[in-house]
Amino acid sequence: MKKLGIIGYGWLGSRIADYLSSQFEIYNTTTSPEKLADLKSISTQVELVEFPEENKALQITAWDVISSLDAVIITIPFSSRQSCASSLFNKIQNISAFLGDYTGQLFMMNSTGVYDKEEKVYTEADQAIEKVSSERLFKTNFPQINILRLAGLMGDDRLLKNYNVSNLDAPVNHVHYQDIARVVQLMIELEQHAKLYNVVAPIHPSKQDVINAQNNELYDSEKEAKGRIISSAKLIEELDFTFNYPDPRYFHI
């Protein structure tokens, strides 16, 4: 059985670990002592480690299992909009120190928030890795890294109807966490390196239609909203990938 390391046991990391635990031997990290018990039920090893935004790279040593891992997923969020440049740099350097000289398959989970807000269809070509600070820094340290730009994370307890939502006529760019896990699983099987993909459900109904569907109310099953759309066409074509959850109106079923 292949060994998979997951750095970050938040909402997404925990679900990827759980979904893939039957196919991979899971090694996890977390910053929370309270999560250790949950992790030990699905992980071969759990490492309690923090990645500060201060320059402490010299105090962080490489993960002691790193050389035995077939693939590593980084699910810790990065936002240049919320962090100053030096804090972002230090955080990534600290994670890089933890990865050591790892040359295996590596995945960075980023966000489709890297794209502008203009009402158009965005592809990976609209925002180069070199223009996204976090992606550029990881790419410099680990040229083999796969970067997945994720749409709004949904599934399980995350339903749009539970949030205060504005601009209800706008289209959603969402993805179910199980499809994220399936993309990673497929890319590991295909031994993919240095890829950049948007991971977004290919159907983009309006926010109102999604909320109505989740409330079992009437909605327009044929109409697709017009606005800012993030395209997953490259992922679908290059990996011959089929989403299990292509339509956000049915994420709750």
CATH of the domain at 123: 3.40.50.720
Say whether pTM exceeds 0.85: yes
pLDDT > 90 fraction of the chain, expressed in percent and rounded: 76
**Mean pLDDT computed over every residue of the chain:** 92
Domain of 80? 3-250
Q: Residue 155: pLDDT above 90?
A: yes
Alpha helices in the chain (DSSP H): 11-20, 36-40, 85-99, 133-141, 177-189, 207-214, 233-239
Report the helix count and the strand count for the chain, using DSSP H and E.
7, 11
Total number of domains constituting the chain: 1
- What does the pLDDT read at residue 82? 52
What are the phi and psi torsion angles at 77 (to 5°)?
Answer: -75, 150
Nearest-angstrom CA–CA distance, 50 and 35: 14
Task: Tell whether the model's pLDDT for residue 56 goes beyond 60.
Answer: no
Identify which of 97, 78, 96 has the alpha carbon closest to the alpha carbon of residue 88: 78
CB 211 within 8 A of CB 160: yes
* 227/169 Cα distance (integer angstroms): 9
The confidence score (pLDDT) of residue 64 equals 94
Decide if pLDDT at 201 tops 70. Answer: yes
Per mean pLDDT, which range of 83-92, 124-133, 235-244 is the poorest?
83-92
Q: Which of 9-23, 122-136, 143-157 has the lowest mean pLDDT?
A: 9-23
Whole-angstrom CA distances from 246 to 47, 249, 250 are 35, 9, 8
Mean pLDDT over 93-118 rounds to: 96
**Strands 121-122, 45-48: pairing kind:** unpaired
**Strand intervals (E) in 112-232:** 121-122, 146-150, 152-154, 174-176, 196-199, 229-230
**What would you report as the CA-atom Rg of the chain, rounded to the nearest whole angstrom?**
18
State mean pLDDT over 144-152.
Answer: 98
- CA dist 6 → 16, 24, 127, 220 (Å): 9, 11, 26, 39
* 8-state DSSP, 28: E
Residue 122, token pair as written in the block: 């965005």
